[in-house]
Amino acid sequence: MANKSDNEQLEMEIYDFLKLGLGDPLPVAATVGRNVGELLDKIVSMLPEAEGVAEGEAESIRVALVGRPNVGKSSFINKLIGGERLLVTPIAGTTRDSVDTPFEFEGQKYTLIDTAGLRRKYKVHENIEFYTNLRTDRAIESCDVAVVLIDAAEGLSVQDQRIMEKIISTRRPSVLAVNKWDLAEKDQVAVERFGKELKATLGRFSRMPVVYVSALTGQRVPKVLSLVKKVHSENHKRIATSELNDFLQAAVGKKHPPARKGKYIRFYYATQSEVTPPTFVFFSNYPELIDKSYISYLNNQLRSTFGFDGVPIRLKFRKK
């Protein structure tokens, strides 16, 4: 590219540059915009072909398997792929590094990421623990969907909650799989009690899809993948603006935001500005006066109306 070729006279001198052997020179002039269109055409013609993959199709969904040491992460992946690819032992801390396994199920590609189990925080000063925690964090950051495995015999632990906090803070969709279900008491009362206790400890994660599995027998192991696919598509879901505004009218009609500082809060309209994670923008006359409890009301209403289970949605409030 030969810049400052402001006119045809100068443009003729372009041939001097051929001698340099750097390919065909293109005379351009940045100040007057001469031949800039030709330059752009040339750049576009030299770009590599875009891969002809439609959005969300044929792409591999990256799935991170995370959970405490010994919960059965490696066993789970081995069961899915029907092999012994990953080392499984009764010793906690068998897996030391994240391992990617490509896998296809019902026409969908997945990349399963096995991770090292996450330890208690007080052990983090030890070097290995520090790096395994770091790798679990990395696996979560790099995944499309996280599967949290918990042990049926032990329920939801502090470490599990720490993993879930990380999933929330990195805004990843997730599924909770209760493993070693083959060892759990199977009478109806026990199952219901477990479910109730789990919901209680889940608290603000209560919209996370839960599935009871056994990596040993394979029970409901494929079900985890169908839930992964479901939350992945929920994370890409778009709600039409017209639908959102019908929703907004109904939600505000049912419960109006309380007036604050003598100001009457009004909503004008709402729109979904983004996916992954789905983000909703509400336009209002006093966005700064909308209180937390009303925001959580809108959040719950949105989820009851449109789903988004297992997906961290975001609500934003803007001045019109």
Please measure the distance between the N-terminal and C-terminal CA atoms of the chain and give it in whole angstroms.
46
Rg (the chain; Cα; Å): 27
Bridge partners for 100 per DSSP: 113
Q: Does 156 bind ligand GTP (CB under 6 A)?
A: no
> By C-beta, is 11 or 182 nearer to ligand GTP?
182
> By C-beta, is 34 or 166 nearer to ligand GTP?
166
SS3 182: helix
Q: Does 93 bind ligand GTP (CB under 6 A)?
A: yes
CB of 74 to Mg ion, least distance (A): 3
Bridge partners for 316 per DSSP: 281
SS3 232: helix
Of residues 60, 94, 219, 271, which one binds Mg ion by CB under 5 A?
Answer: 94
CB of 131 to Mg ion, least distance (A): 15
Q: What share of the chain is helix, strand, coil (3-state, %, to 5)?
A: 40, 20, 40
Q: Spell out the residues 6+ positions from residue 122 whose beta carbon is closer than 8 angstroms to its own.
A: none
Window of 14-22, 91-99, 246-254, 297-305 that interacts with ligand GTP by CB under 6 A: 91-99
Of residues 61, 64, 88, 178, which one binds ligand GTP by CB under 6 A?
Answer: 88
Task: Report d(CA 113, CA 136) in Å as an integer.
Answer: 10
Of residues 34, 61, 66, 74, which one binds ligand GTP by CB under 6 A?
Answer: 74
DSSP 79-145: HHHTS--S---SSTT---S-EEEEEEETTEEEEEEE-PPPPPGGGTTSHHHHHHHHHHHHHHHH-SE
> By C-beta, is 101 or 284 nearer to ligand GTP?
101
CB of 186 to ligand GTP, least distance (A): 13
Q: Spell out the residues 6+ positions from residue 40 whose beta carbon is closer than 8 angstroms to its own.
A: none
Q: Does 170 bind Mg ion (CB under 5 A)?
A: no
CB of 42 to ligand GTP, least distance (A): 53
Task: Report d(CA 29, CA 31) in Å as an integer.
Answer: 6
Q: Does 257 bind ligand GTP (CB under 6 A)?
A: no
- Map residues 186-225 to x or -, x wherever contact with ligand GTP holds by CB under 6 A: ----------------------------xxx---------
Residue ranges in 52-91 that form contacts with Mg ion under rule CB under 5 A: 74
Burial of 66 (0-12, 13-18, 19+ CB in 10 A): buried
Of residues 58, 92, 153, 259, which one binds ligand GTP by CB under 6 A?
Answer: 92
Contacting positions for Mg ion (CB under 5 A): 74, 94-95
Contacting positions for ligand GTP (CB under 6 A): 69-75, 88-90, 92-95, 116-117, 179-180, 182-183, 214-216
